[in-house]
Amino acid sequence: MTNNMDNYGFTDYFKNQIELINEDKDDLIPARITEVHKEMYTIIYDNIEKRARLKGSIFYNDKHSIYPAVGDFVLVKGNPYGEDIIHYVLERKSKFSRYDSHYEKEQMVAANFDHVFIISSLNYDFNIKRIERYLAIAWESGANPAIVLTKSDLVDDTEEYSSQIDNIAIGLPIFYISSVTGEGIDELRKYLKPKETIVFLGSSGVGKSSLVNALAGKEIMKVNDIREDDSKGRHTTTHRQLITLSNGTMIIDTPGMRELALWNTQDGLDTTFSEIEELSRLCKFKDCSHNKEPGCAIKSALTTGELSHDRWDNYIKLQKEAKFAAKKEQLNLKKKEKLLRKRS
């Protein structure tokens, strides 16, 4: 039943879930989502890609349905004459989502990856606070983050960037890359393993598509130039997609997102700002608001410079943003439940 899905990362974690499905599943086969286009999906199995759509009686009649995202493993009923039909989305081992401000709910971006490459370029795009935001999301996802700094050929000395990154990414792999000169590409390739999946996070113009091409050793993604005046790029990747390299590593590329609204990232924030969490435990009062209370370890660290004001301010900003998203989602759920009660 696994139809050679091992090469796509279909481990025992997913295989064991199939046995727990009570309904008849003998005619269903596992596949992986490689692209999402509204209500149409591209799936892969047996080294072929096919179009697929959801089974309406399963997904559209249940408000709790989980819709597939790029990287998901699904069970489908094959159709040799047209589109396959998706019946089940298997439980995810990792996921990356963001807050959809329009619908005021979680928007799933990618699923079932092993590593998160947080990509920033060494030009005007470099923003330490944005990298902290991405780190919080990466830690929350359940995968292992790494920092990839592209366009190293544009700077003479990376030391000023190194000191900033080292302060927020202690112990994480950090790669300095140039897709033009090839610097760092071979070192990064050693990080890539067959049957593992990597998700790319970064703004438009940071060189994600160029990096995919450099790792693949050939041009498989279109690359757009950036504007020289502000180093901002146009969206090259217009939708999320899963790409398989020749060595068997899979990459989920996402459209450039300059501002990525947080969603359910409390654990990720605690890990990203671990030194702040440690300092909080040293406060005299357990419920210290870090404002006017005596014996506040946070205020003391800010005074001595042990904790920078910029990092503390960004931590507070991200905490408020995450709580705001959670509150909006709760209100949205209550509205839906109230509407369902009225209809019934």
Q: Are residues 122 and 247 in the same domain?
A: yes
DSSP states of 176-190: E--TTT-TTHHHHHT
Structure tokens at 15: 């295989």
164: three-class secondary structure by DSSP: helix
* Contact in structure between 194 and 247 (CB atoms under 8 Å): yes
* Contact in structure between 234 and 223 (CB atoms under 8 Å): no
User: How far is Cα 7 from Cα 344, in angstroms, rounded to an integer?
Assistant: 47
Q: Is residue 103 part of a domain?
A: no
How many H-runs (helices) and E-runs (strands) does the chain carry? 10, 13
Phi, psi dihedral angles at 235 (to 5 degrees): -70, 115
Q: Is residue 204 part of a domain?
A: yes
Q: Is residue 43 part of a domain?
A: yes
Tens place of pLDDT for every residue, the chain, 344 residues?
556 799 999 999 999 998 887 666 778 999 999 999 888 999 999 989 999 999 988 887 766 678 999 999 999 999 999 999 999 999 999 998 876 666 666 778 899 999 999 999 888 778 898 899 889 888 888 899 999 999 999 888 888 888 889 888 888 999 999 988 999 999 999 889 999 999 998 887 788 888 888 888 888 876 655 444 444 444 444 456 899 998 999 999 876 554 566 666 777 788 888 899 899 999 999 889 898 889 999 999 999 999 999 999 988 988 888 777 667 666 766 666 666 666 65
Domain that holds residue 181: 110-253
Phi, psi dihedral angles at 173 (to 5 degrees): -65, 135
Q: Are strands 28-37 and 73-77 parallel, antiparallel or unpaired?
A: antiparallel
The model's pTM is: 0.78
Q: Are residues 306 and 180 in the same domain?
A: no
Q: Are residues 224 and 309 in the same domain?
A: no
Q: Is residue 105 part of a domain?
A: no
Q: Are strands 144-150 and 115-121 parallel, antiparallel or unpaired?
A: parallel
